[in-house]
Structures are given as C-alpha cells and as structure tokens.
C-alpha cells in the first residue's frame, strides 16, 4: 500500500485539502514542522503563534490524534521519517512567501533525488500568481483589470476536492500539543465554518455599505481562518456564488472582490518578492520619515489622544484583530500624521494580528503609504476625526475600547480636547491624566506630509 507524508502548513483543515486528498488512497503520516528557518526574515508573530498552536490542536483532533508535530528543519524531518516508515510519497499544499518558494523547490528536488515522489498542490489561492497575465504576457499592476479581466475572465477556480475515508494513519513519536486559552474565537475547522455561516446569515446582506462600520456585524472576520487555511477560499467562493439571486448582487460582488484583493496581495508578493521590505515605487526611498520613538510608542499603545485611532489600536492589542476600515485609519495616521515609516506599522501588525499574513500585510501597508501597486495616492490622507464621525457615529466603538471616555456626550467623543472644562469635569474626564491630549495636530501634520510628498515627487 502507498505510504505518504502529508506536510501541513497554511492548510490546517481536512475538507477541500488537495494534499490530504492525494494521500487518502493509502496510509498517511500527517505532520507539521515548526521551522523558523524556512520562514526567512518573517518568523511568525506572537499572536499568530498562539492561533497556530490552537489550530494544530484542533487539526490533531480531526485527524484522530495522529498529527505528528516537530521543531526542526522540515526536509531533515521528512527524510528521517521517510526512512523510518518506508514512505513512498510526500504531499503538501503550496505556500507563496518568497522564502517558502525557495525552500520548497529545494525540498522537492532533494526528495526526488532520494527516489521519493513529491507533489505540491494549490490549496490556498483561487488563481495562482503565474497563471494570470495581461495580453502582453506580463503581470498586472492594477487591481481592477487583474481581478475583472485577468481572474474572472480566465479559468474558474477549481472544484472542491473530496477525501477518501476512513483515513488510515501511520503512527510516530512527536511533540505534544497543549491548547492556549484565547477568548472570543473558536479556533477550529468547525469554528471557521460557523463563523462563515454567521456572516452569511447576518453580515452579507448590506455588506458593501455596512462593512465600513466597526460596530456592525457586516465584516466576515474570516481572515485568520483563511490565513491558516482552516477554511479554503474555494469553499467560500463556490458557496457565495451559489447565493446569486438570493442575496443582493452588489453585496455578493463586493465580498468576492475582497477575496480578489487577497489574491492580488499574493500576486504582488509573488511577482515582487521584496514587497515586505522595499518601496515598490522607488521614489519613496527618498521620503523624509520622522524618527520618533515617543510617537511610535503612543500609536502602538493607543495613547495618541485621537479617540478613533486609539480605539482601533487597543482593539488590536486586546483582541489580536482590527476592523478593516480601522486598519486603514490607523495606518494613515501613522504614515501621514506622525510621518513614521510604514514598515514600523507593518512590523507591529505582524506581531499582534492573529491574521498576520505576509502578502496582505505588506501590500496593504504599501497601499496606504502610496508606495505600492495601485496604491492610494499619497495625498489621500484620512482625517481620523471625520472617519470616526462617519463610521462610528454614536461612538460605540470608541466607548468599547476607551471606556474612560464613555461619559462624554457623543458630539465631543471624537474630539474630547474641544469639550468645555465643565463638560469634561461632569463626564469624569481629565485630559492629560485619564486620557492624553492629542500628540499632533492632524491639520498641521497633513500639510507637512503633503509638503514632503511634493518635494519627493519633484525630484
């Protein structure tokens, strides 16, 4: 009988798993290897490590407690196991980070040299980056033609794959797994499906408009499940397409285009591997960034004195998650009001987000900075006060994460420094003590940002 290793990485599920499906006609040794070397300079962040741990615990249960976990060099582990257990095949689903691509190519060649059949599959993307090219055979640089022409008018995403059951396992000794208590999330394959169903029932209708409001239930909150592959994008794509005629077309189209943005992020990273570290638009290499540890720390800790920014940063620090609109607001404030290099924000998000994803994180920060593909122009600067008033009109989001301001009348909760002294006193707020005064003037720093950009563009 065929004896196969299935190497799990960012595909921690049993359903619609091509690598597991390929191995399911024989005996299977499912493994996960903690291998920081293969991650290059972007070793998994602190909160992502916690999520990963619990996801592995869940996967282990789904695999009948047969998941073998190791901490070593991946190829070394695999070659040793192949020898111990007479393994004939090794299967995995592809990762698209530059360091992973390099490692996987070398690993596949090493296995073939040992007369072991090695095969990789697409378990993570609807369209693989090298398959989507424009009419000149070149990669797209702008999202809309990439998605509308390059993706939607090309081959449809693959069908879901089945797995032959019951699975027959090969046992081996490995490290043990212990779950970590993480509130507010069900970190399991079933939890991913439940979250998806919750969104379909309560969030998809009205998604296009209401997704920007952090207190509304119209964001999917699927990003960590997608990053770790606990739910496949193909499952989401086919299910949501099946709702055409049942749910509003504009909401379906907009939600699917967000999956398209995820694809575009991976596309950028594949075709331009330096995206996490280098400005794609090289003129930004000459931008005059501020070096202010005090301002950076205030931003990181949610102590800038700008309530909507601080609420979002505290949401991140307390929950490992941040609403998408708020990600744009906080990023714009760091880059264009504090004038701090976007890479500082990228690193903080990488450390604290459960859904920290190299492609999405780097592409999104460069988008806000104006230095990336199809980026928001640098002169598009979010006014955080107006953003708060528009998308958190009752101040519910601010009050949730900045409880020291919850006694303020709504018309002052976005700008507490404008509140009369008697209003602050009656609300129990002492600025500079209970809550900081603004660390910068948003209007003045906006002018300075535009001035620096103008100097940059004229060089």
Q: Quick: pLDDT tens for 353-409.
A: 999 999 999 999 999 999 998 877 888 899 999 999 999 999 999 999 999 999 999
CA distances from 435 to 239, 303, 309, 424 (A): 46, 8, 13, 11
The phi-psi region of residue 49 (left if phi > 0; otherwise alpha if psi is between -120 and 50; otherwise beta) is: alpha
Is 348 a catalytic site residue?
A: no
Distance (Å, rounded) from C-alpha 296 to C-alpha 254?
34
**Local structure of residue 454 (DSSP, 8 states):** H
Given the residues 278, 289, 417, 448, select the one marked as catalytic.
Answer: 289
Dihedral of alpha carbons 423, 426, 428, 431, sign? positive
Neighbours of 315 (CB within 10 A): 20
β 27-34/168-169 pair status: parallel
Dihedral of alpha carbons 148, 16, 75, 60, sign? positive
In this predicted structure, what is the pLDDT of residue 458?
Answer: 58
Given the residues 51, 342, 348, 367, select the one marked as catalytic.
Answer: 342
Given the residues 134, 317, 324, 383, select the one marked as catalytic.
Answer: 324
Q: Which of 368, 198, 425, 391 is nearest to 307 (CA)?
A: 391
Full DSSP string of 368-380 = HHT-STTPPPTT-
Is 263 a catalytic site residue?
A: no
Is 130 a catalytic site residue?
A: no
Containing 103, the helix (H) or strand (E) segment is helix 98-113
Question: Crossing angle, helix 249-271 and helix 233-241, to 10 degrees?
Answer: 150
Domains and CATH numbers, the chain: 3-123 (3.40.50.620), 125-160+190-271 (1.25.40.80), 282-457 (1.10.579.10)
Q: Which two structure tokens, joined as six digits, stand for 56?
A: 């592995």
Cross-strand pairs, 168: 27
Neighbours of 153 (CB within 10 A): 9
Given the residues 119, 258, 303, 404, select the one marked as catalytic.
Answer: 258
Q: Is 222 helix (H, G, I), strand (E, B) or coil?
A: coil
List CB contacts of 448: < 8 A, sequence separation 6 or more: 339
Residue that is written with structure tokens 């111990």 in the block: 84
In this predicted structure, what is the pLDDT of residue 101?
Answer: 96
Given the residues 185, 237, 261, 417, select the one marked as catalytic.
Answer: 261
Could you read off the pLDDT of 99-111 as tens digits, one per residue? 999 999 999 999 9
Low-confidence ranges of the chain (pLDDT < 70): 458-459
Is 350 a catalytic site residue?
A: no
Distance (Å, rounded) from C-alpha 119 to C-alpha 124?
15
In this predicted structure, what is the pLDDT of residue 369?
Answer: 94
Is 185 a catalytic site residue?
A: no
């Amino acid at each position: 009988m065929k004896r196969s290793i299935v190497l799990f990485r960012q595909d921690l599920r049993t359903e619609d798993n091509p690598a597991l499906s390929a191995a399911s006609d024989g005996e299977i040794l499912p493994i996960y290897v903690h291998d920081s070397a293969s991650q290059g300079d972007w070793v998994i962040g602190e909160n992502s490590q916690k999520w990963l741990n619990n996801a592995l615990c869940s996967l282990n249960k789904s695999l009948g407690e047969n998941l073998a976990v190791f901490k070593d060099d991946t190829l070394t582990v695999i070659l040793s196991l192949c020898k111990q257990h007479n393994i004939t095949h090794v299967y995995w689903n592809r990762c698209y980070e530059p360091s992973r691509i390099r490692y996987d190519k070398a690993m596949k060649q090493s296995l073939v040299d040992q007369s072991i059949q090695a095969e990789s599959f697409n378990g993570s993307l609807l369209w693989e980056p090298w398959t989507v090219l424009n009419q000149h055979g070149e990669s797209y640089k702008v999202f809309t033609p990439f998605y509308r022409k390059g993706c939607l008018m090309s081959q449809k995403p693959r069908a879901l794959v089945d797995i032959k059951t019951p699975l027959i396992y090969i046992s081996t000794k490995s490290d043990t797994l212990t779950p970590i208590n993480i509130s507010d999330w069900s970190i399991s394959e079933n939890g991913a499906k439940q979250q998806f169903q919750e969104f379909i029932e309560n969030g998809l209708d009205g998604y296009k408009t209401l997704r920007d409001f952090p207190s509304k239930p119209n964001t999917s909150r699927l990003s960590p499940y997608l990053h770790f592959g606990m739910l496949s994008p193909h499952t989401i794509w086919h299910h949501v397409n099946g709702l055409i005629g049942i749910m509003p077309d504009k909401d379906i189209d907009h939600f699917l285009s967000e999956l398209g943005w995820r694809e575009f992020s991976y596309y950028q990273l594949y075709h331009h591997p330096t995206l996490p570290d280098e400005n794609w638009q090289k003129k930004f290499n000459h931008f005059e960034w501020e070096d202010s540890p005090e301002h950076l720390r205030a931003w990181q800790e949610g102590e800038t004195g700008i309530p909507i920014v601080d609420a979002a940063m505290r949401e991140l620090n307390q929950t490992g998650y941040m609403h998408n609109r708020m990600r744009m607001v906080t990023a714009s404030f760091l880059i264009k009001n504090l004038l701090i290099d976007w890479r500082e924000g990228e690193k903080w998000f990488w450390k604290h987000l459960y859904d920290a994803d190299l492609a999405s994180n780097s592409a999104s920060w460069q988008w806000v900075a104006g230095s990336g593909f199809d980026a928001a122009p640098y002169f598009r600067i979010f006014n955080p006060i107006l953003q708060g008033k528009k998308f958190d009109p009752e101040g519910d989001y601010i009050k949730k994460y900045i409880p020291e301001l919850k006694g303020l009348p709504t018309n002052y909760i976005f700008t507490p420094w404008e509140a009369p002294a008697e209003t602050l006193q009656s609300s129990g707020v002492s600025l500079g003590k209970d809550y900081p005064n603004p660390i910068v003037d948003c209007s003045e720093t906006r002018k300075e940002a535009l001035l620096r950009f103008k100097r940059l563009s004229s060089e």
